[in-house]
Amino acid sequence: MLPSINGSVHPRFEAVRSVFFDNFTLRGEIGASVCIYHRGERVVDLWGGSVDVEGETPWDADDLTTVFSVTKGIVAASYLMLIDRGLLSYSDPIAKYWPQLTDGGGERERFREARSNMTVADLLNHRSGLIGFREELTLDELSEEETLLLRLEGEPLRWSPGERQGYHGVSFGLYAGALFKKITRQSVGDYLRDEIKREAPLDLYLGLTEHEEDLISSRIRPIYPIQLTDVFGGILPNLMFGRNREGRFFRSALNKSSPTAHAFGQPQDLGAKSLTNFNTRRVQRLELPWANALGSARGVASLYKHLLTPGRLVSSNALNWVIPRQSWTELDEVIRKPMGYSYGFAKEEIGIFSPHSEAFGHPGAGGALGYADPTNGLCIGYVMNRMGYQVRSPRALALCKAAYDCLS
């Protein structure tokens, strides 16, 4: 049965509709939305497929789902707004706001001075060395602020801040979120709710309140983790034989002493074998600033559209901080591929999501994407309910390529 594709497309971007259709017929999509803005105009607004694997409930335009590390783009945008308002500097030492972090870790002789010099930029650019957790991190601890702060303050560095770059897949959100609250007395979720959405109404949520839950619960859709066909048809062959980014990542993840395993090992209740926990209200009520934002494609794309609109969320000068790569390596310690960052925003290889190094945003596990290209004034939001296993989603890549083909 052919999927039902709904929505509208500017005639110039008709090719995106074709690729979106192909994602269902060729790439295993179940339910998804994509929204694209070009120079402030919404040129693609499509949705299709179904909420459930049985195909009984159609996917709707404003359906919300967990966007995983697209959440990190919300964190980066929140910090950019603070910087633009003069409330802190990326070069500030973290100890200025969080002195207890300087004292912990159990390696005071070797890293005490390094900890005291760790900057906001080191943390946001995945160079802090605080990439994971020695012991089990539970959902109960994630919901208890004081207990969690003690855990964060007591973790050792894997390297001296600034020395290396490795994707802080989980710890980025925990440390950046805690630091944000130390500075503003607001969590990132509250800042999204009270500051960002006051300036630009967005269909994005981080840590559901009771009021939000009452308003949007009927639109929240479950995610479906990887299927057995993905394991046998993709993960295992890449693990054993792949000389590509998937093969390198999977082999590194299986090495328990590797930075990859350390970065993604905790919390186990939200790890690869427990991803369906993100579908529970308990987890959706938590504020996990690395992974559990709920959003629609329209909401994700609108965030980046407003970032590119001078004076809406930030001044026109503020983008000068995030347009250049602030950190880059040909082999990220954790995800084992070329990767860069600009103060929390991902800066991919040329040609992954964009042909321009100025583009910034963040992909999410399984495929979700929020990205902006200031060179072309292009902003994309893509959300879906079927997760893929690839390090970078073929479905998201195909949509991005189609959008740029339309421009050329």
**Strand, coil or helix: 34:** strand
Backbone angles phi, psi at 402, to 5 degrees: -65, -40
- Residue ranges of domains in the chain: 1-408
The answer to whether 332 touches 165, Cβ cutoff 8 Å, is yes
Q: Is the per-residue pLDDT at 235 higher than 90? A: no
The residues near 367 (Cβ < 8 Å, ≥ 6 apart) are 382, 384, 386, 387, 388, 390, 393, 395, 396
Summarize the confidence of residues 261-281 as an average pLDDT: 95
Q: Is the per-residue pLDDT at 286 higher than 60? A: yes
Fold of 1-408: Beta-lactamase (3.40.710)
Report how far residue 50's alpha carbon sits from residue 32's, in angstroms, rounded to the nearest whole number. Answer: 8
Report how far residue 22's alpha carbon sits from residue 173's, in angstroms, rounded to the nearest whole number. Answer: 34
The answer to whether 76 touches 322, Cβ cutoff 8 Å, is yes
Task: Quote the distance between the C-alpha of residue 193 and its chain's center.
Answer: 18
pLDDT tens, residue by residue, 76-122: 999 999 999 999 999 999 999 999 998 765 555 566 777 888 999 99
Q: Is the pTM of this model over 0.75?
A: yes
Give the C-alpha distances (Å, rounded to integers) separating 135 from 141, 152, 155, 332.
12, 11, 9, 24
Rg of the Cα atoms in the chain: 20
Mean per-residue pLDDT over the chain, rounded: 94
Triad 330, 392, 44: Cα angle to 5°: 125
Range from 114-118, 220-224, 260-264, 326-330 carrying the lowest mean pLDDT: 114-118
The pLDDT of residue 102 is 81
The answer to whether 5 touches 17, Cβ cutoff 8 Å, is yes
The pLDDT of residue 382 is 98
The pLDDT of residue 241 is 79
pLDDT tens, residue by residue, 175-207: 999 999 999 999 999 999 999 999 999 999 999
The residues near 47 (Cβ < 8 Å, ≥ 6 apart) are 5, 6, 7, 31, 32, 33, 34, 59, 60, 61, 63, 297
Report how far residue 282's alpha carbon sits from residue 16's, in angstroms, rounded to the nearest whole number. Answer: 36
pLDDT tens, residue by residue, 68-88: 999 999 999 999 999 999 999
What is the pLDDT confidence band of residue 250, given thresholds at 50, 70 and 90?
A: confident
Strand 294-295: give its sheet, edge to edge: 65-66, 294-295, 204-205
- The position carrying tokens 């001044």 is 315
pLDDT tens, residue by residue, 345-402: 999 999 999 999 999 999 999 999 999 999 999 999 999 999 999 989 999 999 999 9
The CB density around residue 365, as the number of other CB atoms within 10 Å, is 23
The answer to whether 65 touches 278, Cβ cutoff 8 Å, is no
The pLDDT of residue 220 is 98
Range from 1-5, 17-21, 119-123, 211-215 carrying the lowest mean pLDDT: 1-5
